[in-house]
Amino acid sequence: MSLLNNLKLYATQEHSCSYDKKKQATTLFVDPDAEVNDLIYRELNDIGFRRSGRHFYRPHCRSCNDCIATRIPVERVSLTKKQKRILKKNSDVICRQVDSIDSDEHYHLFEQYIANRHSDGDMYPATREQYHEFLVDGNDFSHYTEFILNDQLIAVNLADKIVDGLSAIYTFFDTEHARRSLGNFAILELIEETRRLGGDFLYLGYWISNCQKMNYKIDYRPMELLIDGRWKRLS
Protein backbone atom coordinates (compact mmCIF):
# COMPACT_ATOMS: atom_id res chain seq x y z
CA MET A 1 0.00 0.00 0.00
CA SER A 2 1.39 3.39 -1.01
CA LEU A 3 2.20 5.89 1.72
CA LEU A 4 0.73 8.56 -0.55
CA ASN A 5 -2.85 7.23 -0.48
CA ASN A 6 -3.95 9.55 2.30
CA LEU A 7 -1.94 12.55 1.15
CA LYS A 8 -4.02 15.55 0.05
CA LEU A 9 -3.00 17.22 -3.21
CA TYR A 10 -4.04 20.64 -4.48
CA ALA A 11 -3.87 21.95 -8.05
CA THR A 12 -3.35 25.62 -8.80
CA GLN A 13 -5.35 27.56 -11.33
CA GLU A 14 -3.70 27.96 -14.71
CA HIS A 15 -0.86 30.47 -14.70
CA SER A 16 1.86 31.62 -17.07
CA CYS A 17 4.52 28.96 -17.60
CA SER A 18 7.95 29.86 -16.20
CA TYR A 19 9.70 28.23 -19.16
CA ASP A 20 7.43 29.17 -22.06
CA LYS A 21 5.45 32.38 -21.65
CA LYS A 22 3.18 31.34 -24.53
CA LYS A 23 1.85 28.42 -22.49
CA GLN A 24 -0.39 28.09 -19.46
CA ALA A 25 0.75 25.81 -16.63
CA THR A 26 -0.87 24.08 -13.66
CA THR A 27 1.07 22.95 -10.59
CA LEU A 28 0.15 20.15 -8.20
CA PHE A 29 1.07 20.74 -4.54
CA VAL A 30 1.17 18.43 -1.55
CA ASP A 31 -0.91 19.71 1.36
CA PRO A 32 1.54 22.10 3.12
CA ASP A 33 0.28 20.86 6.51
CA ALA A 34 1.15 17.24 5.71
CA GLU A 35 4.07 15.64 7.53
CA VAL A 36 6.49 14.41 4.88
CA ASN A 37 9.01 11.89 6.23
CA ASP A 38 11.88 10.14 4.44
CA LEU A 39 9.74 7.34 3.00
CA ILE A 40 6.99 9.65 1.76
CA TYR A 41 9.61 11.92 0.20
CA ARG A 42 11.05 8.92 -1.64
CA GLU A 43 7.64 7.99 -3.07
CA LEU A 44 7.03 11.60 -4.09
CA ASN A 45 10.40 11.66 -5.83
CA ASP A 46 9.57 8.44 -7.64
CA ILE A 47 6.56 10.11 -9.28
CA GLY A 48 8.31 13.35 -10.19
CA PHE A 49 7.69 15.69 -7.26
CA ARG A 50 10.24 18.31 -6.21
CA ARG A 51 10.73 20.36 -3.06
CA SER A 52 10.94 24.16 -2.88
CA GLY A 53 11.14 25.52 0.66
CA ARG A 54 8.28 23.89 2.59
CA HIS A 55 6.38 22.92 -0.55
CA PHE A 56 6.40 19.72 -2.60
CA TYR A 57 5.15 20.12 -6.16
CA ARG A 58 5.15 18.84 -9.71
CA PRO A 59 3.82 20.13 -13.04
CA HIS A 60 0.24 19.07 -13.78
CA CYS A 61 -0.45 20.78 -17.10
CA ARG A 62 -3.52 19.91 -19.11
CA SER A 63 -1.98 19.90 -22.59
CA CYS A 64 1.78 19.72 -22.03
CA ASN A 65 4.20 17.05 -20.75
CA ASP A 66 7.44 18.84 -21.57
CA CYS A 67 8.78 18.89 -17.97
CA ILE A 68 10.47 15.51 -17.49
CA ALA A 69 11.94 14.46 -14.13
CA THR A 70 15.58 13.27 -14.34
CA ARG A 71 18.00 11.28 -12.23
CA ILE A 72 21.55 9.96 -12.55
CA PRO A 73 22.43 6.38 -11.45
CA VAL A 74 25.68 7.45 -9.81
CA GLU A 75 27.54 4.14 -9.85
CA ARG A 76 27.24 3.92 -13.63
CA VAL A 77 28.30 7.47 -14.51
CA SER A 78 30.81 7.78 -17.33
CA LEU A 79 32.43 11.22 -17.38
CA THR A 80 33.06 13.05 -20.63
CA LYS A 81 36.35 14.77 -21.44
CA LYS A 82 34.67 18.11 -20.73
CA GLN A 83 33.52 16.96 -17.29
CA LYS A 84 36.98 15.64 -16.46
CA ARG A 85 38.45 19.03 -17.44
CA ILE A 86 35.98 20.78 -15.11
CA LEU A 87 37.12 18.58 -12.22
CA LYS A 88 40.77 19.30 -12.97
CA LYS A 89 40.12 23.04 -13.30
CA ASN A 90 38.51 23.10 -9.85
CA SER A 91 40.96 20.83 -8.05
CA ASP A 92 41.98 23.83 -5.92
CA VAL A 93 38.41 24.35 -4.64
CA ILE A 94 37.57 23.05 -1.15
CA CYS A 95 34.09 21.50 -0.81
CA ARG A 96 32.67 21.29 2.69
CA GLN A 97 29.29 20.44 4.19
CA VAL A 98 27.69 23.00 6.51
CA ASP A 99 24.57 22.96 8.66
CA SER A 100 23.14 26.29 7.51
CA ILE A 101 23.43 28.98 4.83
CA ASP A 102 21.43 31.56 6.80
CA SER A 103 24.07 34.30 6.85
CA ASP A 104 24.81 37.63 5.15
CA GLU A 105 27.70 36.09 3.22
CA HIS A 106 25.51 33.38 1.72
CA TYR A 107 22.65 35.75 0.95
CA HIS A 108 24.84 38.34 -0.79
CA LEU A 109 26.30 35.64 -3.03
CA PHE A 110 22.76 34.52 -3.91
CA GLU A 111 21.66 38.12 -4.55
CA GLN A 112 24.60 38.72 -6.89
CA TYR A 113 23.96 35.46 -8.73
CA ILE A 114 20.28 36.23 -9.35
CA ALA A 115 21.09 39.75 -10.56
CA ASN A 116 23.77 38.54 -12.99
CA ARG A 117 22.23 35.31 -14.24
CA HIS A 118 18.46 35.52 -13.78
CA SER A 119 17.46 39.16 -14.07
CA ASP A 120 14.77 38.10 -16.56
CA GLY A 121 13.21 35.54 -14.20
CA ASP A 122 10.62 35.36 -11.45
CA MET A 123 13.24 35.47 -8.69
CA TYR A 124 14.62 38.90 -9.67
CA PRO A 125 15.21 41.03 -7.69
CA ALA A 126 16.27 38.77 -4.86
CA THR A 127 14.96 39.43 -1.36
CA ARG A 128 15.92 37.97 2.00
CA GLU A 129 12.39 36.67 2.51
CA GLN A 130 12.47 34.86 -0.83
CA TYR A 131 15.94 33.47 -0.08
CA HIS A 132 14.84 32.19 3.30
CA GLU A 133 11.63 30.58 2.00
CA PHE A 134 13.36 28.97 -0.98
CA LEU A 135 16.67 27.77 0.45
CA VAL A 136 16.62 27.92 4.25
CA ASP A 137 13.11 26.71 5.15
CA GLY A 138 12.34 23.00 5.02
CA ASN A 139 15.81 22.03 6.14
CA ASP A 140 14.85 18.68 7.68
CA PHE A 141 16.28 17.17 4.49
CA SER A 142 18.78 19.87 3.51
CA HIS A 143 22.37 18.99 2.66
CA TYR A 144 24.41 22.17 2.13
CA THR A 145 27.81 22.34 0.45
CA GLU A 146 30.09 25.38 0.36
CA PHE A 147 32.76 25.79 -2.30
CA ILE A 148 35.78 27.71 -1.03
CA LEU A 149 38.63 29.17 -3.10
CA ASN A 150 41.50 30.93 -1.32
CA ASP A 151 39.37 31.28 1.83
CA GLN A 152 36.57 32.92 -0.17
CA LEU A 153 33.06 31.54 -0.66
CA ILE A 154 32.50 31.17 -4.41
CA ALA A 155 29.51 28.80 -4.62
CA VAL A 156 26.81 27.10 -2.58
CA ASN A 157 24.81 24.00 -3.34
CA LEU A 158 21.63 22.77 -1.68
CA ALA A 159 20.55 19.16 -2.09
CA ASP A 160 18.11 17.04 -0.13
CA LYS A 161 19.32 13.85 1.51
CA ILE A 162 16.73 11.18 0.74
CA VAL A 163 16.44 7.42 1.15
CA ASP A 164 17.97 6.45 -2.19
CA GLY A 165 20.42 9.30 -2.72
CA LEU A 166 20.42 13.07 -3.10
CA SER A 167 18.01 15.45 -4.81
CA ALA A 168 19.67 18.59 -6.19
CA ILE A 169 17.64 21.67 -5.28
CA TYR A 170 19.70 24.72 -6.25
CA THR A 171 23.21 25.99 -6.88
CA PHE A 172 24.36 29.61 -6.89
CA PHE A 173 27.86 30.97 -7.41
CA ASP A 174 30.11 33.96 -7.96
CA THR A 175 29.65 34.76 -11.65
CA GLU A 176 33.15 36.24 -11.82
CA HIS A 177 34.31 32.61 -11.82
CA ALA A 178 32.17 31.64 -14.81
CA ARG A 179 35.12 29.98 -16.56
CA ARG A 180 35.25 27.38 -13.82
CA SER A 181 31.78 26.02 -14.82
CA LEU A 182 30.80 25.95 -11.15
CA GLY A 183 27.26 24.75 -11.86
CA ASN A 184 28.55 21.62 -13.55
CA PHE A 185 31.27 21.23 -10.93
CA ALA A 186 28.57 21.25 -8.24
CA ILE A 187 26.75 18.39 -10.01
CA LEU A 188 29.96 16.40 -10.29
CA GLU A 189 30.59 16.94 -6.58
CA LEU A 190 27.02 15.83 -5.80
CA ILE A 191 27.53 12.65 -7.82
CA GLU A 192 30.58 11.85 -5.70
CA GLU A 193 28.79 12.84 -2.49
CA THR A 194 25.86 10.57 -3.37
CA ARG A 195 28.32 7.70 -3.76
CA ARG A 196 29.99 8.52 -0.43
CA LEU A 197 26.61 8.43 1.28
CA GLY A 198 25.80 5.05 -0.28
CA GLY A 199 22.98 6.41 -2.45
CA ASP A 200 21.88 5.09 -5.82
CA PHE A 201 20.65 8.22 -7.56
CA LEU A 202 21.21 11.94 -7.89
CA TYR A 203 17.90 13.57 -8.82
CA LEU A 204 18.42 16.62 -11.04
CA GLY A 205 14.92 18.04 -11.34
CA TYR A 206 13.08 18.69 -14.58
CA TRP A 207 14.47 18.71 -18.09
CA ILE A 208 12.75 20.33 -21.07
CA SER A 209 14.15 19.32 -24.45
CA ASN A 210 13.69 22.73 -26.09
CA CYS A 211 14.93 24.77 -23.10
CA GLN A 212 18.55 25.74 -23.73
CA LYS A 213 19.21 26.52 -20.04
CA MET A 214 18.49 22.87 -19.20
CA ASN A 215 20.68 21.27 -21.85
CA TYR A 216 23.49 20.67 -19.32
CA LYS A 217 21.42 18.02 -17.53
CA ILE A 218 21.32 15.67 -20.47
CA ASP A 219 25.15 15.74 -20.71
CA TYR A 220 25.37 13.29 -17.79
CA ARG A 221 25.16 9.66 -18.87
CA PRO A 222 23.59 7.38 -18.22
CA MET A 223 20.54 9.50 -17.44
CA GLU A 224 17.10 8.25 -16.43
CA LEU A 225 13.90 10.08 -17.44
CA LEU A 226 10.48 9.66 -15.86
CA ILE A 227 8.21 8.98 -18.84
CA ASP A 228 4.62 7.74 -18.50
CA GLY A 229 5.20 6.96 -14.84
CA ARG A 230 8.30 4.81 -15.39
CA TRP A 231 12.01 5.58 -15.21
CA LYS A 232 13.62 4.96 -18.60
CA ARG A 233 17.37 5.01 -19.13
CA LEU A 234 19.30 6.93 -21.75
CA SER A 235 22.73 5.36 -22.26
> In the structure, what pLDDT confidence band is assigned to residue 20 with cuts at 50, 70 and 90?
confident
**Model confidence, pTM:** 0.94
Q: What are the two backbone dihedrals, phi and then psi, of residue 37, each rounded to the nearest 5 degrees?
A: -95, -175
Peptide bond into 32 cis (omega under 30): no
The 10s digit of each residue's pLDDT in 182-221 is: 999 999 999 999 999 999 999 999 999 988 889 899 999 9
Name the 3-class secondary structure at 87: helix
What proportion of the chain, given as a percentage, has pLDDT over 90?
A: 83
- pLDDT value of position 70: 97
**Residue 194, helix vs strand vs coil:** helix
Report pLDDT digits (tens) over 70-119. Answer: 999 999 999 999 999 999 999 999 999 999 999 999 999 999 999 999 99
Q: Of 231, 204, 222, which Cα lies nearest the Cα of 80? A: 222
Phi, psi of 154 (to 5 degrees): -115, -10
Does 43 have pLDDT greater than 90? yes
Alpha helix stretches (DSSP H) within the chain: 38-46, 81-89, 104-117, 128-131, 182-196
Q: What is the mean pLDDT of residues 44-52?
A: 94
Q: 138: left (phi > 0), else alpha (psi -120 to 50), else beta?
A: left
Cα separation, 130 vs 14, in Å, equals 22
Across 32-52, average pLDDT: 93
Domains of the chain: 9-66 (no CATH), 70-234 (3.40.630.30)
Judge contact between 197 and 189, C-beta under 8 A.
no
Query: In the predicted model, what is the mean pLDDT of the chain?
Result: 94
In this predicted structure, what is the pLDDT of residue 235? 65
Pair 164, 197: CB distance under 8 Å: no
- Binned at pLDDT 50, 70 and 90, residue 138 comes out as low
The answer for 73, left when phi > 0, alpha when psi is -120 to 50, beta otherwise, is beta
What confidence category does residue 120 fall into, taking pLDDT thresholds of 50, 70 and 90? confident
Kindly tell me if the per-residue pLDDT of 1 is higher than 70. no
